Structure 1
Amino acid sequence: MGAQVKALAPELDNTMLVFARNALGLSIILPIMLWRQGPDCLRTTNLRFHVVRGVVGVSAMYCYFFSLGGLALTEAVLLKLTSPFFIPLIAFLWLGERTSLWALMTIVLGFCGVVVLLQPGHAGMQDVLFVTAGVSGAVLGGTAKVAIRRMGTREPSARIVVYFGIVATTVSAPAALLNWEWPTLWQWLGLVSIAACATAAQMLITTAYRIAPAGRIGQFTYSSVVFAALLGWLIWSEPFTLNQAIGCVFIVGAGLLNMRR
């Protein structure tokens, strides 16, 4: 999904990408849910948490898509992978889930990787802006995942995804309409593909966060950096630089250490 967003970012406005990803994703999942369960699929007692999760989640998406447009694919994905470092802190403040000293140490280690990626003293203002957007997206994404955990195991994954689509589409529509340019056929195909990939991934991730402690799940997503590096090299001939390698060791290593602990 990230590679497809990066490919379309020079051609379509960020607001259009976010809106299309949510609106098309909703058009995929909502008919399936209505066909299988009828209107009862929307019956919920957690509406306020759905709204919080939707608003925070779409804000994270704006940040992530923006960073994809300005950073190498590997760097943008690595910054997104810092989200699990925030989850234990947010879960502690919101849900009262205990955070160990070991977890705090791995968070510090992970952010050493962010510093390496940022290259203080060498990065231009534009690079700093894209990196800041990436980290901000990680914070917001972590908050959205803890909101899923707050709903508990009685809220089905598909309903969570449907409500996210409804809230995110509604929130992102005004900005998209202000910047709307009619996509070409190939751009439409790309937008549909983005929505399909994102919806499938969201269903799987939502299921994981719904049934397991929030601070434990994110570590399993680190394999995505391998695919990001490979796609960046194949599509854009992006080299895997020394700074990216060191940042990867810190960020991924810290996450895996926390999981092992």
Structure 2
Amino acid sequence: MGTAGILYILAGMTAISVNDMLIKQLSGNYPLHQIVFVRSGVGILFSLILVQAEGGLSILKTRQPFLHLLRGLLVVVSNMTYFVALAVMPLADATALFFAAPLFITLLSIPVLGERVGPMRMGAVVVGFGGVILMQRPWEGAGSLEVSRLVLLLPVISALTYALLQLMTRKLGATTRASVLAVYIQAMFILVSALFFIVAGDGRYTDGVTDASLIFLLRAWVWPSEGDWFYLIGLGLNSAVIGYCLAQAYRLADAATVAPFEYIGLPLAVLWGWLIWSDLPDWEVWAGMALIAGAGLFVFFRERTKARVIARAEVKARY
């Protein structure tokens, strides 16, 4: 099961990198809620096909509707904060800051799961958050930054809500199919983006707004050009792949096995940024990326080693 979980997480992270690239590419012409609505509308159709293949529509029934609702809201907040930042930040910068999520997972496992975190793992978490602070460039004045301080914090907020989401996925995944989890997520995206359309779909809140990230969030809906329909439909198919692969990965394998492979997203983000926008990270981003990734990988491998030691001790205790 561990190998299958790794393959699913690699496929999911590759799909996420393509998703981020396409949304950044489309962010100059369409509002975020329109992109999300079309993407999720297409994605839910593919997800329902997977539901049918895994047991039929009857498996959509749940005894934990509140937890699914909360999980859906966390996904929406995580995605919205990340994509609003992505519209105005280099892809590699936003992705690197988002990878603070494993560090948040370690911290949140203390109050949420009652886990004990030793001094070595806690030290790694501190080092990782040092990388986050480095990428915030606290020594620079607000006027010399390419984006505002708030925008720099958005991927970190996205990472925090994603960490909460993964803790819930592990709990729900024990009794819920990956395709069902994907359908609930797509349905929540459709609902929230439809509400955005009702409130701001005519672009009324963009008058006098100059911030590019806010314009991306509040711009009026427009009919997509013929060439963009291909990208929007591709986003929908891609979102179904993401939702299914991530849920399946964390269902089939423990987080300590799967999570380190999420870091494939960092080199992919750098690659897309270089190929499409000719962006290469500044030294602060390279350094912050190394600290965040190094700390996250240390935490995961430390957890894995600790789990093996405990398992061996339990086996010996039986004899």
TM (norm. structure 2) is 0.76
Q: 1:91 to 1:216 in 2, by over 3 A?
A: farther
Greater Cα radius of gyration, structure 1 or 2: 2
Point out the more displaced range, 204-213 or 62-71.
204-213
Whether the aligned pair in 2 keeps the contact of 1:88 and 1:215 (CA below 8 Å) is no
Task: Report deviation, 1:29.
Answer: 1.0
Whether the aligned pair in 1 keeps the contact of 2:178 and 2:248 (CA below 8 Å) is yes
Match of 1:231 among 272, 277, 290: 272
What do the CA deviations read for 1:135-160 (whole angstroms, capped 9, x no partner)? 11111111111111122422111111
Q: Does residue 131 of the first structure (1) align with residue 155 of the second (2)?
A: no
Partner of 1:143: 164
Gapped runs of 5+ residues in structure 2? 1-18, 202-220, 303-319
Task: Report deviation, 1:122.
Answer: 2.1
What do the CA deviations read for 1:206-250 (whole angstroms, capped 9, x no partner)? 122234444664322111110111110110010232112111110
Point out the more displaced range, 32-41 or 2-11.
32-41
What do the CA deviations read for 1:48-101 (whole angstroms, capped 9, x no partner)? 111110011111110111111011010011112111111122233223233333
Distance 1:4 1:165 in 2: 18
Match of 1:170 among 186, 191, 194: 191
Match of 2:240 among 189, 199, 207: 199
Distance 2:78 2:254 in 1: 21
The size of the alignment, in residue pairs, is: 261
Task: Report deviation, 1:16.
Answer: 1.8
Point out the more displaced range, 39-48 or 58-67.
39-48
% identical aligned pairs: 27
Task: Report deviation, 1:114.
Answer: 1.2
Q: 4+ runs of 1 displaced by more than 6 Å?
A: none
Partner of 2:71: 53
Distance 1:98 1:209 in 2: 21
Point out the more displaced range, 231-240 or 21-30.
21-30
RMSD (CA atoms)? 2.0
Q: Does residue 187 of the first structure (1) align with residue 228 of the second (2)?
A: yes
Task: Report deviation, 1:17.
Answer: 2.4
Distance 1:46 1:181 in 2: 37
TM (norm. structure 1) is 0.92
Distance 1:19 1:147 in 2: 24
Distance 2:149 2:38 in 1: 27
Gapped runs of 5+ residues in structure 1? none
Distance 1:16 1:138 in 2: 23
Give 3-state SS (helix, strand or coil) of 1:37's partner.
Answer: coil
